[in-house]
Amino acid sequence: MTHISEILGRARSRKGELPYEGALLPFEAHALLLEAPGARLVDVRTRAELDWVGRIPGCVHIEWKSYPGMVDNPDFLSQLKQQVDRESLLMFICRSGQRSHAAAALAAASGFTSCYNVLEGFEGDRNAHSHRGKVNGWRFSGLPWEQG
């Protein structure tokens, strides 16, 4: 439990003005998945991203926006309520941390009590050549993922 508390403490120290509990690095989110009872990772990427880029085993998948067109998912909140407990430790991830930020903010504003964003996302930041997956992120960190 101490390790869990340490991770959550670091995440809360990154909170700043965030409207949710805090921000996690990918390796911290993975550790919480392994150690924190009931912790859930919510992947908000599109189905196309999951199929073409890769997916994280065991995630809850709820699209924040849909491909093509990146249209908002009007049922996001109701789908979240159906798939996770309001009291669970929820970690939101997307490609780079932007959509997951918005999803974590909405969940927190809607009464989910322990929401965190996964910084860097699945693919990470862009490098000098505007390529993702070369600098940081879930996949770059060697954490579990599978293709298609």
Given a contact cutoff of 8 angstroms between Cβ atoms, the answer to whether 92 and 84 are in contact is: no
Strands 60-61 and 40-43: parallel
CATH number of the domain within which 43 lies: 3.40.250.10
Give the model's pLDDT for residue 115: 98
Give the model's pLDDT for residue 134: 87
Give the separation between CA 108 and CA 64, rounded to whole angstroms. 15
Tell me if 29 is assigned to some domain. yes
Q: How many domains does the chain have?
A: 1
Give the model's pLDDT for residue 97: 92
What sign for the dihedral angle of Cα 48, 78, 144, 118?
positive
In the predicted model, is pLDDT for residue 122 greater than 80?
yes
Given a contact cutoff of 8 angstroms between Cβ atoms, the answer to whether 11 and 99 are in contact is: no
Tell me if 148 is assigned to some domain. no
Given a contact cutoff of 8 angstroms between Cβ atoms, the answer to whether 64 and 44 are in contact is: yes
Grade residue 101 by pLDDT with cuts at 50, 70 and 90: very high
Grade residue 12 by pLDDT with cuts at 50, 70 and 90: very high
- Phi, psi angles (nearest 5°) of residue 58: 85, 5
Give the model's pLDDT for residue 133: 87
Tens-digit pLDDT profile for residues 80-90:
999 999 999 99
Q: Which domain holds residue 95?
A: 2-118
Nearest 10 degrees: Cα torsion 30, 112, 45, 33: 10
Chain position carrying tokens 């196309």: 48
In the predicted model, is pLDDT for residue 34 greater than 80?
yes
Give the model's pLDDT for residue 1: 54
